[in-house]
Amino acid sequence: MVILIFKTLYRKQNKSNISIKKQFIFVGIFIAIVAIITSCANIGMPTGGPKDVTPPKVLKSIPKNYSTQFKGKEIEITFDEFIKFKDLNSQLLISPPLKNTPEIKIKGKNIVVKINDTLRENTTYTMFFGDAIVDLNEENILPSYEFVFSTGNVLDSLTMTGKVLNAFTQKPEKDIYVMLYDKYDDSVPIKEKPYYLAKTKEDGEFVMNNLRDMSYKVFALKDANNNLKFDQPNEKIAFIDSLVTPRMKPILLKKDSLHKDTLKLDSLNKAIVHDKNLYIKDLNLFEEVDSTQRVTKADYLHKGELIFTFRFPVKHLEIIPQFETNKEWKLEEMNATKDTLYYWLLDPMDSCKFIIKDNNKTLDTVNLKHRQRVTVKKKSTVAPSIILSTNINGMFDFYNYIVITAPNPIESIIPKNILLIEDKDTLYPKISFTDSLHRRIMLNHKLKQGINYKLYVPDSIVKDIFGMYNDSLGIPFRTNNIEDVGNFIVNISIDSSSAPCILQLLSDKEDIIEQHIITKGTTIKYQYLKPGSYLLKAIYDQNNNGKWDTGKYLIHLQPEKIIYFPDKITIRANWDVEEKWKL
């Protein structure tokens, strides 16, 4: 295009035989045109402004938010930009709940809510959208948006807040419904939906605003089938035994506020509210346990060994064989918690039938069969052997004793053949059995610190009740030093109303390291703790059965109270930590 313009100008100047002065004018015009065209051609891509970080804003709504005398069926909320929903189904909460879910749609910059229900008279409704409303492009969140209206002349303004914790771990529980009822029968949470509703956040906290001035029944629910009723056996719950009345929410008012006649104002134009928010801190979530005793497992493990496990510790267990027996037909072993029983049959059989009773009640009739393992290998000429195990695992604690465990009760042993090599010395430690069935062998030798050891058990020195002999066992290990561990001393004070109490020292993963029953003030020293973080937990054992028990709603039984020492206990090597704790 530039070339065409130049040719045109050149032809014109030749035809008119113009002067040199005019030629300079033509050249100047030509240069100006080229500069303009060039500047136009070099326009770059727009860089754009700063990223939009502003959430959508509500411009208006029909009716207005916090309106009274609402009689309509539709609500329209207008925003300053295009919007969309994000996780609306999980975030939307309507209190009091409606029988039919309203129809909620987005039309451009508007949210349109169509109510398909008959609203209660003289009731304040709250539609809590949570963080579901975001702008269309950047998804900037309009946080915790709620739309409130009343079908009567008054907009209820009381509030209630609180926190839901797991009854056993005392950790916050998320997405738990907290529900208020205006009826007080125990069956109400089972049969009816709540009058008001809220949901806990990540930290277990909940907020209920715009509540009516009256007393309520408080109930919390982890709703398994999403029907707002406690009607599933695995649904976790929490409840408060007494009725609860919400209180006035602290607010700020100006002198020209419409509320200036109802609240006394101080010199700073702030409302003087004598009542703080009602904070509910006793909502401990638990799962009810069916108290019916049951057999959870009955099995023939391997040659001659049977196992019976029960839902709860047995009280007066009877296992009645349905076959002929002699006086000594089995050996038995009950675990420490009395919910698992092992039988070793002295004359193993392929199948056996039993009637199982506890506390004079028949629980089950079982027929146990020995399952033969199918193998494609050639039949071995080597006799089956006993595989021994030990409590040695890498670095061994010098303050512990070595324990060797056999899978079956031991009939005979040659103890003098068990060797313990201590550095370069060979020792012949004395042994003892730690159980009545002679399955666990303890070496009664006090180990030294920081020494290399080797445990050696030659083959065929241990014989079990089935006539099998052991394979050889050889394990090298090293002991640690007292400088590698620390101690924790805690001074406990407790009044008689809190006793008895189960005191547990836990790892940071909440495994029980040591447990004590406390009935009075005492000092406990936990020795030889490995460096790391520990927790201290107390269980108020109301029924004095030595364990934590859950609750039962219909008999108004709360789960047994649990508290944790407020700080983690940090143990360092070669260091003592001392604390005081008043229960």
**Which CATH number does the domain housing residue 278 bear?**
2.60.40.1120
**Rounded-to-integer distance, Cα 34 and Cα 37, Å:** 5
Q: Which of 391, 415, 389 is nearest to 401 (CA)?
A: 391
pLDDT of residue 370: 84
Strand 340-345, strand 305-310: pairing: antiparallel
Q: Which of 429, 415, 414, 422 is nearest to 454 (CA)?
A: 422
pLDDT of residue 252: 44
469 and 498: one domain? no
pLDDT > 80? residue 380:
no
Q: SS3 of 326, please?
A: coil
- Give mean pLDDT, residues 569-576: 96
pLDDT > 50? residue 391:
yes
459 and 511: one domain? no
**Rounded-to-integer distance, Cα 442 and Cα 218, Å:** 55
Helices (H), 432-490: none
pLDDT > 70? residue 21:
no
Cβ neighbourhood burial of 152 (10 Å; 0-12, 13-18, 19+):
middle
164 and 219: one domain? yes
Residue 375 lies in a domain: no
Q: Give the model confidence (pLDDT) of 313-350 as tens digits.
A: 999 999 999 999 888 899 999 998 899 999 999 988 88
220 and 191: one domain? yes
Residue 380 lies in a domain: no
Contact 215, 245 (CB under 8 A): yes
- Give mean pLDDT, residues 22-48: 51
Identify the band that residue 455 occupies on the pLDDT scale cut at 50, 70 and 90. very high
Q: Give the model confidence (pLDDT) of 234-293 as tens digits.
A: 999 999 999 999 887 654 444 333 333 333 333 333 333 334 468 898 899 999 988 889
367 contacts: CB under 8 Å, gap ≥ 6: 351, 352, 353
Residue 377 lies in a domain: no
Lowest mean pLDDT among 29-33, 445-449, 567-571: 29-33
Residue 124 lies in a domain: yes
Estimate to the nearest angstrom the gap between the alpha carbon of 469 and the chain centroid.
Answer: 47
- Give mean pLDDT, residues 17-45: 50
134 and 28: one domain? no
**Rounded-to-integer distance, Cα 179 and Cα 165, Å:** 15
189 and 280: one domain? yes
- Give mean pLDDT, residues 53-74: 94
214 and 301: one domain? no
pLDDT > 90? residue 219:
yes
Average pLDDT over the chain reads 87
Lowest mean pLDDT among 96-100, 248-252, 289-293, 402-406: 248-252
**Rounded-to-integer distance, Cα 406 and Cα 389, Å:** 7
Estimate to the nearest angstrom the gap between the alpha carbon of 457 and the chain centroid.
Answer: 45
**Rounded-to-integer distance, Cα 150 and Cα 70, Å:** 6
Of 480, 512, 538, the last residue of a domain is 480
**Rounded-to-integer distance, Cα 157 and Cα 249, Å:** 7
Residue 52 lies in a domain: no
What is the DSSP secondary structure assignment for residue 460, as one 8-state letter?
T
Residue 51 lies in a domain: no
pLDDT > 90? residue 504:
yes
558 and 444: one domain? no
pLDDT of residue 50: 77
pLDDT of residue 33: 54
Query: Is the model more confident about 451 or about 253?
Result: 451
pLDDT of residue 381: 53
Contact 490, 521 (CB under 8 A): no
pLDDT of residue 496: 84
| CATH number, domain containing residue 548 | 2.60.40.10
Instruction: Name the β-bridge partners of 76.
Output: 62, 112
352 and 394: one domain? no
Q: SS3 of 363, please?
A: strand
Q: Which domain holds residue 534?
A: 484-582
Of 254, 285, 316, the last residue of a domain is 285
**Rounded-to-integer distance, Cα 165 and Cα 281, Å:** 9
What is the DSSP secondary structure assignment for residue 66, as one 8-state letter?
T
| CATH number, domain containing residue 316 | 2.60.40
399 and 441: one domain? yes
Q: Give the model confidence (pLDDT) of 510-546 as tens digits.
A: 999 999 999 999 999 999 999 999 999 999 999 998 9
pLDDT of residue 28: 56
pLDDT of residue 232: 92
pLDDT > 80? residue 152:
yes
**Rounded-to-integer distance, Cα 108 and Cα 509, Å:** 51
Lowest mean pLDDT among 371-385, 453-467, 563-577: 371-385
Residue 230 lies in a domain: yes
Tokens of 559: 């789960």
What is the DSSP secondary structure assignment for residue 239, as one 8-state letter?
E
| CATH number, domain containing residue 441 | 2.60.40.1220
pTM metric for this prediction: 0.77
**Rounded-to-integer distance, Cα 577 and Cα 489, Å:** 6
- List C-alpha distances in Å: 353 to 300, 370, 460: 11, 12, 34
pLDDT of residue 382: 59
- Give mean pLDDT, residues 39-66: 76
Query: Is the model more confident about 6 or about 170?
Result: 170
pLDDT of residue 291: 83
Of 150, 172, 206, the last residue of a domain is 150
pLDDT of residue 30: 52
pLDDT > 60? residue 449:
yes
Cis peptide before 500 (omega within 30 of 0): yes
281 and 304: one domain? no
**Into how many domains does the chain fold?**
6
pLDDT > 80? residue 377:
no
pLDDT > 80? residue 373:
no
Residue 251 lies in a domain: yes
476 and 488: one domain? no
Report residue 203: phi and psi, to 5°: -90, 10
pLDDT of residue 425: 94
